Structure 1
């Protein structure tokens, strides 16, 4: 059972499509996953669905899941071309995502951890820094998820 001390990363994701939560969960099952890809997922209307308790890991970012909480929003791509990344968050999703991150930070703090141990970043921010300049540039990303730059958008939450 994980505690707040175990959490180092809050990863932000997009679903890269507009399917239902049930269809997303079926997709994970088809991959043979026993755990969902995210702890929380946010519908277009801003409703937050908890798919996994924070005390258990989810399959959000390979190699990082033991010490991460994964939060996603439905979308992140163009509706007419799901191969093209787009920050498609609705105003309701933006508000819900902000509140979900705040809730996650509070959970970490109330379960033995602290803000100082946390990073908030997008899934794309774990891509390899191929040129070694300390910045994951667009050409280095293995994926665009969450289709916006989560680090500067949410850094104020860790102060």
Structure 2
């Protein structure tokens, strides 16, 4: 079930092609949690060089997808609407499996702490039931 389409997500976050990685949001609790979907396709620009003959989604872009997803439950809060959530820090990053064309990334971010102009989220990326990456992220909210 789609809660937000890609176009509706673009109304919330400033990212655009080629660095926009959310196809839809399937679960959302403002200030608490988001589950978003990223369909990984062979025509993604980064596959031209990463890696020829063995396309693998760069880990840093998986983290970027999680950061984009994680900003949504923050920016859906009334006090942060119309602002931008900047990635302020990352901790405990782990990559567990390659992500390749044809995979569907399920991006889950739980907001574990919320302050006046910041939030901390725990993000996990899955392909099917397998966790492929995880990260603890700090977001700074600003204009």
- What TM-score, normalized to structure 2? 0.32
Query: Which protein has greater RCO, CA pairs closer than 8 Å, 6+ apart?
Result: 1
- What TM-score, normalized to structure 1? 0.30
Greater fraction of residues in helix:
1
Greater fraction of residues in strand:
2
